Structure 1
Amino acid sequence: MTTTDNSDIISLNLRFRNSQNRNVIFMIEVSKNDLVSVIADRVRAILAPHLPVRPHNFHLQQIYPTSIQRRRMQPENMISDYFPENPDEDMIHIFVYPPLSPE
Protein backbone atom coordinates (compact mmCIF):
# COMPACT_ATOMS: atom_id res chain seq x y z
CA MET A 1 0.00 0.00 0.00
CA THR A 2 1.26 3.45 -0.80
CA THR A 3 1.42 6.42 1.50
CA THR A 4 -1.34 8.93 0.95
CA ASP A 5 -2.10 12.54 1.58
CA ASN A 6 -5.58 13.99 1.94
CA SER A 7 -5.80 14.97 -1.73
CA ASP A 8 -5.83 11.26 -2.64
CA ILE A 9 -8.74 10.42 -0.33
CA ILE A 10 -12.18 10.05 -1.90
CA SER A 11 -15.57 9.24 -0.42
CA LEU A 12 -17.55 6.50 -2.11
CA ASN A 13 -21.21 5.62 -1.56
CA LEU A 14 -22.04 1.93 -1.85
CA ARG A 15 -25.35 0.09 -2.02
CA PHE A 16 -26.02 -3.49 -0.99
CA ARG A 17 -29.39 -5.24 -1.09
CA ASN A 18 -29.67 -7.79 1.70
CA SER A 19 -31.67 -11.04 1.70
CA GLN A 20 -34.77 -9.18 2.93
CA ASN A 21 -34.47 -6.88 -0.11
CA ARG A 22 -33.58 -3.92 2.05
CA ASN A 23 -31.01 -1.50 0.78
CA VAL A 24 -27.98 -0.99 2.95
CA ILE A 25 -26.27 2.22 1.87
CA PHE A 26 -22.97 3.25 3.37
CA MET A 27 -20.00 5.48 2.71
CA ILE A 28 -16.31 4.67 2.87
CA GLU A 29 -13.22 6.80 2.43
CA VAL A 30 -10.31 5.32 0.53
CA SER A 31 -7.22 6.47 -1.26
CA LYS A 32 -7.33 6.56 -5.04
CA ASN A 33 -3.85 4.97 -4.87
CA ASP A 34 -5.16 1.82 -3.15
CA LEU A 35 -6.28 -1.34 -4.89
CA VAL A 36 -9.96 -2.20 -5.27
CA SER A 37 -9.29 -5.11 -2.89
CA VAL A 38 -9.16 -2.50 -0.09
CA ILE A 39 -12.79 -1.61 -0.87
CA ALA A 40 -13.74 -5.30 -0.75
CA ASP A 41 -12.06 -5.72 2.64
CA ARG A 42 -13.91 -2.72 4.05
CA VAL A 43 -17.22 -3.96 2.59
CA ARG A 44 -16.77 -7.35 4.30
CA ALA A 45 -16.28 -5.68 7.67
CA ILE A 46 -19.22 -3.30 7.28
CA LEU A 47 -21.70 -5.83 5.91
CA ALA A 48 -20.91 -8.67 8.34
CA PRO A 49 -24.00 -7.88 10.52
CA HIS A 50 -26.25 -7.98 7.43
CA LEU A 51 -25.15 -11.38 6.15
CA PRO A 52 -25.87 -14.87 7.47
CA VAL A 53 -22.33 -16.01 6.59
CA ARG A 54 -19.18 -14.08 5.86
CA PRO A 55 -18.55 -14.28 2.15
CA HIS A 56 -15.03 -14.47 0.83
CA ASN A 57 -15.73 -12.26 -2.13
CA PHE A 58 -18.16 -9.69 -3.39
CA HIS A 59 -18.85 -8.41 -6.82
CA LEU A 60 -18.30 -4.67 -6.91
CA GLN A 61 -19.87 -2.89 -9.85
CA GLN A 62 -19.05 0.70 -10.71
CA ILE A 63 -22.23 2.59 -11.59
CA TYR A 64 -20.96 6.18 -11.40
CA PRO A 65 -20.62 8.30 -13.42
CA THR A 66 -23.90 7.41 -15.08
CA SER A 67 -22.43 8.16 -18.50
CA ILE A 68 -20.25 5.04 -18.31
CA GLN A 69 -21.33 1.49 -18.90
CA ARG A 70 -21.59 -0.39 -15.62
CA ARG A 71 -18.49 -2.46 -15.08
CA ARG A 72 -17.28 -4.98 -12.58
CA MET A 73 -14.40 -3.69 -10.50
CA GLN A 74 -11.37 -5.98 -10.45
CA PRO A 75 -9.58 -6.35 -7.07
CA GLU A 76 -6.11 -6.04 -8.61
CA ASN A 77 -6.85 -2.67 -10.24
CA MET A 78 -6.23 0.67 -8.62
CA ILE A 79 -9.22 2.66 -7.41
CA SER A 80 -8.03 5.57 -9.56
CA ASP A 81 -8.70 3.41 -12.65
CA TYR A 82 -12.39 3.71 -11.81
CA PHE A 83 -12.49 7.07 -10.03
CA PRO A 84 -9.73 9.35 -11.34
CA GLU A 85 -11.59 12.38 -9.97
CA ASN A 86 -13.74 12.95 -6.91
CA PRO A 87 -17.25 11.64 -7.57
CA ASP A 88 -20.47 13.52 -6.81
CA GLU A 89 -21.10 12.92 -3.10
CA ASP A 90 -24.90 12.73 -3.58
CA MET A 91 -24.80 9.71 -5.91
CA ILE A 92 -24.37 5.98 -5.38
CA HIS A 93 -21.02 4.99 -6.89
CA ILE A 94 -20.79 1.22 -6.41
CA PHE A 95 -23.29 -1.64 -6.23
CA VAL A 96 -22.18 -4.53 -4.01
CA TYR A 97 -23.38 -7.99 -5.01
CA PRO A 98 -22.88 -11.02 -2.78
CA PRO A 99 -21.52 -14.21 -4.29
CA LEU A 100 -24.18 -16.60 -5.55
CA SER A 101 -25.28 -18.97 -2.80
CA PRO A 102 -24.89 -22.68 -3.62
CA GLU A 103 -28.52 -23.86 -3.41
Structure 2
Amino acid sequence: MSTTDNSDIISLNLRFRNSQNRNVIFVIEVSKNDLVSVIADRVRGILAPHLPVRPHNFHLQQIYPTSIQRRRMQPENMISDYFPENPDEDMIHIFVYPPLSPE
Protein backbone atom coordinates (compact mmCIF):
# COMPACT_ATOMS: atom_id res chain seq x y z
CA MET A 1 0.00 0.00 0.00
CA SER A 2 1.37 3.40 -0.92
CA THR A 3 1.51 6.41 1.32
CA THR A 4 -0.01 9.55 -0.12
CA ASP A 5 -0.13 13.21 0.59
CA ASN A 6 -2.15 15.88 -1.17
CA SER A 7 0.60 16.48 -3.76
CA ASP A 8 0.18 12.88 -4.96
CA ILE A 9 -3.58 13.19 -5.56
CA ILE A 10 -4.81 14.07 -9.04
CA SER A 11 -8.29 14.51 -10.48
CA LEU A 12 -9.00 12.67 -13.70
CA ASN A 13 -11.95 13.24 -16.02
CA LEU A 14 -13.22 10.05 -17.62
CA ARG A 15 -15.66 9.52 -20.47
CA PHE A 16 -17.61 6.30 -20.96
CA ARG A 17 -19.46 5.53 -24.19
CA ASN A 18 -21.49 2.55 -25.29
CA SER A 19 -24.79 1.84 -27.03
CA GLN A 20 -26.84 2.23 -23.84
CA ASN A 21 -25.11 5.31 -22.45
CA ARG A 22 -23.60 7.35 -25.18
CA ASN A 23 -21.82 9.79 -22.92
CA VAL A 24 -21.21 9.44 -19.18
CA ILE A 25 -18.56 11.81 -17.88
CA PHE A 26 -17.27 11.58 -14.32
CA VAL A 27 -14.32 12.64 -12.19
CA ILE A 28 -12.24 10.51 -9.87
CA GLU A 29 -9.40 11.42 -7.55
CA VAL A 30 -6.51 8.97 -7.30
CA SER A 31 -2.94 8.92 -6.12
CA LYS A 32 -0.28 9.05 -8.83
CA ASN A 33 1.47 6.34 -6.78
CA ASP A 34 -1.38 3.84 -7.30
CA LEU A 35 -1.65 1.30 -10.09
CA VAL A 36 -3.97 1.83 -13.06
CA SER A 37 -5.99 -1.12 -11.74
CA VAL A 38 -7.25 1.25 -9.01
CA ILE A 39 -8.84 3.40 -11.73
CA ALA A 40 -10.51 0.32 -13.25
CA ASP A 41 -11.90 -0.70 -9.84
CA ARG A 42 -13.33 2.77 -9.27
CA VAL A 43 -14.83 2.84 -12.78
CA ARG A 44 -16.52 -0.52 -12.18
CA GLY A 45 -18.18 0.82 -9.03
CA ILE A 46 -19.28 4.08 -10.61
CA LEU A 47 -20.66 2.59 -13.82
CA ALA A 48 -22.39 -0.47 -12.30
CA PRO A 49 -25.80 1.30 -12.10
CA HIS A 50 -25.52 2.31 -15.78
CA LEU A 51 -24.82 -1.16 -17.18
CA PRO A 52 -27.12 -4.16 -17.67
CA VAL A 53 -24.25 -6.51 -16.77
CA ARG A 54 -21.15 -5.74 -14.78
CA PRO A 55 -18.05 -6.17 -16.95
CA HIS A 56 -15.10 -7.85 -15.31
CA ASN A 57 -12.70 -5.42 -16.91
CA PHE A 58 -12.63 -2.11 -18.72
CA HIS A 59 -10.23 -0.83 -21.32
CA LEU A 60 -8.81 2.53 -20.32
CA GLN A 61 -7.34 4.70 -23.04
CA GLN A 62 -5.25 7.75 -22.19
CA ILE A 63 -6.21 10.65 -24.46
CA TYR A 64 -4.58 13.54 -22.57
CA PRO A 65 -2.35 15.35 -23.21
CA THR A 66 -3.50 15.72 -26.78
CA SER A 67 0.12 15.86 -27.97
CA ILE A 68 0.51 12.13 -27.23
CA GLN A 69 -0.82 9.29 -29.30
CA ARG A 70 -3.77 7.61 -27.60
CA ARG A 71 -2.60 4.58 -25.69
CA ARG A 72 -4.22 1.81 -23.74
CA MET A 73 -3.45 2.03 -20.04
CA GLN A 74 -2.09 -1.19 -18.57
CA PRO A 75 -3.47 -2.19 -15.11
CA GLU A 76 -0.04 -3.14 -13.76
CA ASN A 77 1.49 0.28 -14.53
CA MET A 78 1.63 3.20 -12.13
CA ILE A 79 -0.75 6.09 -12.77
CA SER A 80 2.29 8.40 -12.71
CA ASP A 81 3.56 6.62 -15.86
CA TYR A 82 0.63 8.22 -17.69
CA PHE A 83 0.13 11.39 -15.66
CA PRO A 84 3.41 12.56 -14.12
CA GLU A 85 1.99 16.10 -13.83
CA ASN A 86 -1.46 17.33 -12.87
CA PRO A 87 -3.59 17.33 -16.04
CA ASP A 88 -5.69 20.25 -17.25
CA GLU A 89 -8.95 20.01 -15.30
CA ASP A 90 -11.04 21.19 -18.28
CA MET A 91 -10.06 18.27 -20.54
CA ILE A 92 -11.14 14.64 -20.78
CA HIS A 93 -8.15 12.51 -19.75
CA ILE A 94 -9.29 8.92 -20.20
CA PHE A 95 -11.80 7.11 -22.43
CA VAL A 96 -13.38 4.04 -20.82
CA TYR A 97 -14.49 1.13 -22.99
CA PRO A 98 -16.17 -2.11 -21.94
CA PRO A 99 -14.42 -5.22 -23.24
CA LEU A 100 -15.55 -6.09 -26.76
CA SER A 101 -14.96 -9.81 -26.33
CA PRO A 102 -13.55 -12.14 -23.68
CA GLU A 103 -9.78 -12.01 -23.56
After TM superposition, give the deviation of residue 19 of structure 1 in Å: 2.2
Q: Secondary structure at the match of 2:81?
A: helix
1:101/1:50 CA distance change after superposition, 3 Å: farther
**Structure 1 unmatched runs, 5+:** none
Q: Distance in 2 between matches of 1:65 and 1:100?
A: 25
Q: Secondary structure at the match of 1:95?
A: strand
Aligned residue number for residue 65 of structure 2: 65
After the TM superposition, which parts of structure 1 deviate over 3 Å for at least 4 consecutive aligned residues? Answer: none
Q: Distance in 2 between matches of 1:81 and 1:24?
A: 25
TM-score by length of 2: 0.95
After TM superposition, give the deviation of residue 101 of structure 1 in Å: 5.0
Matching of residue 29 in structure 1 with residue 29 in structure 2: yes
1:92/1:73 CA distance change after superposition, 3 Å: same
Q: Distance in 2 between matches of 1:102 and 1:3?
A: 35
Same amino acid, percent of matched pairs: 97
TM-score by length of 1: 0.95
**Structure 2 unmatched runs, 5+:** none
More displaced stretch, 75-84 vs 21-30: 21-30
Superposed CA deviations along residues 25-82 of structure 1, whole A, max 9, x for unmatched, are 0000000000000000000000001111011100000000000000000000000000
Q: Secondary structure at the match of 1:29?
A: strand
1:14/1:62 CA distance change after superposition, 3 Å: same
After TM superposition, give the deviation of residue 18 of structure 1 in Å: 3.1
Report if the CA contact (8 A) 1:18-1:24 is conserved.
no
Q: RMSD across aligned C-alpha pairs, in angstroms?
A: 1.7
Q: Distance in 2 between matches of 1:100 and 1:80?
A: 27
